[in-house]
Amino acid sequence: MVLYGRMQDKPLLISDFLTYAETYHPAREIVSRDANGREHRYAYAEMAVRAKQLAQALIAYGIKPGDRVATLAMNNHRHFELFYGVSGTGAVLHTVNPRLFEDQIIYICNHAEDRVLFLDPAFLPLAASLAPRLETIETFVVLGGADALDGSLPLESAADYESFIAGFDADYTWPSFDERAASSLCYTSGTTGNPKGVLYSHRSTVIHAMAACQNGAMGLSAHDTIMPIAPMFHANAWSTPYLAPMIGAKLVLPGPRLDPESVQGLIDDESVTFTVAVPTVFTMLLDYLEQTGKRIDSLRQATIGGTSVPPAMIDLLREKYGCFVAQVWGMTELSPLGTMTTLTPAVASLPESERREFLYKQGRGQFGLELKIVDDNGCPVPRDGETAGALWVRGPWAAAGYFRGEAGEVLDDDGWLPTGDVATLDGQGFLRITDRLKDVIKSGGEWISSVEIENLAYGHPDVKQAAVVAVHHPKWDERPLLVVEPNEGANPTKESILNHIQSAIAKWWLPDDVVFVKEMPMTATGKIKKIALRDRFKDHVLPKSKNASPQA
């Protein structure tokens, strides 16, 4: 018989974030910009009232705990209210990525059985186009006032958000329920198969937020002004809609205008201290800053993830703009925080040239989320920063599977989730993602990283896009084939590209062949569709290899 502690069984609930902000930081601001650049400002005290109005409106409509409520929206204050108004009642917030192919959106919404869809006015044409095939959505609510419905709305059963919530007041108490209840749903769009839904719980979301704010991760406080540039439909914008009220930070929601002028202007006007974004946002922003001489002096930290960050960007932001770049690796399945750059005393005391190398990695392991890297036999590889293996994760904010059991049992016997990534870990706990597991080339029992070769190929002046895929080899099992889309008008030779690459890698990593394509096949989210390349080149005959595998 277990001897239980005699502590309170207070469940961890998402509504607690907002109740805290409303009580302890009532006057802290939320600033939101819409598609026209119009600004909206209010404070947690007012926002909390509106979230309670929304909750009551949903209940009056008939939304019950567990029901899915979808959004097609950018980062704005009404979307923020939905994060609480929906999940706080026990219903499930399903944030849909409007950039997916229409067929994928249809699949996702039908699979989720969403009942109501809240959408930005800008997505009205998209929603109109989708509507006939959306099987479960009963009502569309446009995120705006009555004027948002003006014009040629092609939808039946449509309401505007302000009218939807108008009849309700602040007199509402967030319900208490099992912390393991579902709170939110986010689909991952792989390059193969149908999207799969990650179904977060209140518990996982609260524990994740408490971990993400630690100084070993984002290091946020009430003094921060957080601007998520990463979209709220993509793994909850790194959880920032939860973190900000939890700590009483000011929140800046930039809407769809993410051109560098708008981003710089918001950072400067609102004294933004912390942002999360993909590297391309900062590529454009840095170009703009360099051209205009403008500054982003308030920004103490740029948290950049989604793909590895170019070292030059890290150095420039830090040295010229005083902004620390924290790389972050995550997944929708991880709520999404996996690893994040923070210096330890040991790393901080290294000479600059050595310390830099750690900043170029994808961050450190966090308390609460276990990482393991294993070889083909499932044995842990050394944490030496060199030996790559398949990365697995385990912890209270990692997925145990997918909504409706898609993809079946995904955990191993000890409860670990495969990430599909190949990575190294070093003695300081820093992770480097070297490849996707399905993209790695297994040559003579050793692994070759397609990503590293691609990165080198991108350094060639004539290369617009590069992809390395495995081609069958009778002796080595697999060998790398480099597929290149040249820059417009350029006509590089195979030899010039291999010459460019070969000095920087082990001889046996050098691709056996290079082929040129006019246009790379791409996914909806802008990634190269390697599966299509593999299929296209599966019978490609490699020239007699001059590159020995390491065992040779």
Please identify every residue annotated as catalytic. 188, 333, 442, 447
Integer CA distances (angstroms), 96 to 197, 210, 521, in order: 11, 25, 24
The residue type found at 91 is: A
Q: Which CB, 29 or 421, lies closer to a copy of itself?
A: 29
CB-wise, 183 or 450, nearer to a copy of itself? Answer: 183
Given the rule CB under 8 A, which of 5-13, 70-78, 321-329, 374-382 is the region that contacts a copy of itself? Answer: 5-13
Residues 163, 150: contact at Cβ < 8 Å?
no
Residue 286, CA distances (Å) to 140, 264, 319 in order:
39, 10, 13
CA–CA separation, 162 vs 81, rounded Å?
A: 12
Q: Which of residues 385-424 bind a copy of itself (CB under 8 A)?
A: 394-403, 411, 415, 417
d(CA 187, CA 197): 4
CB of 88 to a copy of itself, least distance (A): 15
Question: How wide is the angle at C-alpha 46 spanned by C-alphas 42 and 47, nearest 5°?
Answer: 80
Compute the distance between CA of residue 17 and CA of residue 288 in angstroms, rounded to an integer. 36
- C-beta of 291: minimal distance to a copy of itself in Å? 33
Q: How far is the CB of 370 from a copy of itself (least distance, A)?
A: 8
Classified as helix, coil or strand, 309 is: coil
Judged by phi (left if over 0) then psi (alpha if -120 to 50, else beta), residue 489 lies in: left
The distance of closest approach from Cβ of residue 525 to a copy of itself in the complex, given in angstroms and rounded to an integer, is 22
d(CA 340, CA 330): 9
Binding mask 275-314 for a copy of itself (x = CB under 8 A): ----------------------------------------
Closest by CA to 304, choosing from 287, 317, 295, is 317
Per-residue contact flags (x/-) with a copy of itself for residues 333 to 372, judged by CB under 8 A: --x------x-xxx-x---------------xx-xx-x--
Q: How far is the CB of 127 from a copy of itself (least distance, A)?
A: 25
d(CA 256, CA 235): 17
List the one residue from 214, 465, 502, 525 that touches a copy of itself (CB under 8 A).
214
- Cβ proximity to a copy of itself: between 17 and 282 the closer is 17
Residue 55 CA to residue 261 CA, distance in Å, equals 36
Q: Which of 36, 157, 221, 499 binds a copy of itself (CB under 8 A)?
A: 221
Q: Is 459 exposed, middle or buried (0-12, 13-18, 19+ CB in 10 A)?
A: exposed
Q: Which of 215, 353, 377, 503 binds a copy of itself (CB under 8 A)?
A: 215
What is the widest separation between alpha-carbon atoms in the chain? Answer: 77
Spatial distance between the Cα atoms of 170 and 80, rounded to a whole number of angstroms: 17
Instruction: Name the burial class of residue 46, with classes exposed (0-12), middle (13-18) and buried (19+) by CB atoms within 10 angstroms of its CB.
Output: middle
Binding of a copy of itself at residue 272 (CB under 8 A)? no
> Which residue, 127 or 182, has its beta carbon nearer to a copy of itself?
182
Q: Between 417 and 481, whose beta carbon lies closer to a copy of itself?
A: 417
The Cα–Cα gap between 87 and 71 comes to: 13
Site for a copy of itself in 149-188 (CB under 8 A): 177-178, 180-183
How many chain residues interact with a copy of itself (CB under 8 A)?
Answer: 76
**Cβ distance to a copy of itself smaller for residue 101 or 177:** 177
Of 188 and 262, nearer to a copy of itself (C-beta) is 188
Residues 235-254 that bind a copy of itself (CB under 8 A): 246-248
379 is an interface residue for a copy of itself by CB under 8 A = no
Rank residues 246 and 272 by Cβ distance to a copy of itself and give the closer one.
Answer: 246
With CB under 8 A as the contact rule, which of the stretches 6-14, 99-107, 115-123, 319-327 interacts with a copy of itself?
Answer: 6-14
Q: Which residues 30-89 are close enough to bind a copy of itself by CB under 8 A?
A: 65-66
Give first-to-last CA distance, the chain, whole Å: 60
**Residue 255 Cβ, how far from a copy of itself at the closest point, in Å?**
24
Nearest distance in Å: CB 174, a copy of itself: 12
Selected from 33, 78, 111, 203, the binder of a copy of itself by CB under 8 A is 203
Rg, C-alpha atoms of the chain: 24
In the region spanning residues 183 to 202, those forming contacts with a copy of itself, defined by CB under 8 A, are 183, 198-202
**DSSP conformational letter for 376:** T
Residues 124-143 close enough to bind a copy of itself by CB under 8 A: none
> Does residue number 24 form part of the binding site for a copy of itself (CB under 8 A)?
yes
Q: 466: helix, coil or strand? A: strand
Residue 8, amino acid? Q
